[in-house]
A and B are shown apart, each in its own frame.
Chain A
Amino acid sequence: DADVTQTPRNRITKTGKRIMLECSQTKGHDRMYWYRQDPGLGLRLIYYSFDVKDINKGEISDGYSVSRQAQAKFSLSLESAIPNQTALYFCATSDSSGLGGYNEQFFGPGTRLTVL
């Protein structure tokens, strides 16, 4: 069973529509992240949350918002989708405990979003 799940896996929408991508995890991790992946640009951080009451902007947060509904759930919203938000979106989790604070990030399977 997948520890980090994302829904939907694929979504096609039109410009101007509101879209929500959801992420759930059963790993018991406190930290959650949203990334987008574009060819030639790698993975770029959109938002991150180190606990339920802590939400922070990442490198490319414009046009996106997030909600941490519970420790296990972190959703990403596109309030008014535009074509250049077409990308592969990944949710990831990590545990804040551990040596030096550097811990492996565990990624979900991704959501492929197309904005027409």
Chain B
Amino acid sequence: QQQVKQSPQSLIVQKGGISIINCAYENTAFDYFPWYQQFPGKGPALLIAIRPDVSEKKEGRFTISFNKSAKQFSLHIMDSQPGDSATYFCAASGKREYGNKLVFGAGTILRVKS
């Protein structure tokens, strides 16, 4: 049973378009939500993260939107570029139940067409 459900599994976007990846969770003990980016042949690397006390966090072209009541969060990539082509993982953690360990979604393979 996946504690963090991620969709879509794969995504193709035109250069300059907006890429949107969605994640949902059930456990209200989660209170930290990072996104990791993985290029082929590499390990994942932290892209951006959010705490539930804010509804949005933006870093450059990357934005996390967080909806606490719906228990959903999403990654938006504005002006998508071919260099953004990678696998993206959402994750969640909770200090009390998870001791700060991360639970990952299944991943989304993003391809940006030039």
Residues of A within 8 A of B (CB): 4, 33, 40-45, 48, 50, 58, 90, 92, 100-110
Contact = CB atoms under 8 A, between A and B. Distances in A.
Interface of B: 2, 6, 9, 32, 34, 41-46, 49, 51, 89, 93, 95, 99-102, 104-107
Contact of A108 (B41, B43, B106): B43
Given A42-B104, A102-B32, 15 more contacts: A4-B43, A40-B107, A42-B6, A42-B107, A43-B44, A43-B102, A45-B101, A58-B101, A101-B95, A101-B100, A102-B49, A107-B44, A107-B45, A109-B42, A110-B41
A110 B101 contact: no
Nearest to A94: B100
Given A90-B43, A92-B43, A109-B41, A102 B93 contact: yes
Contacts of A101: 95, 100
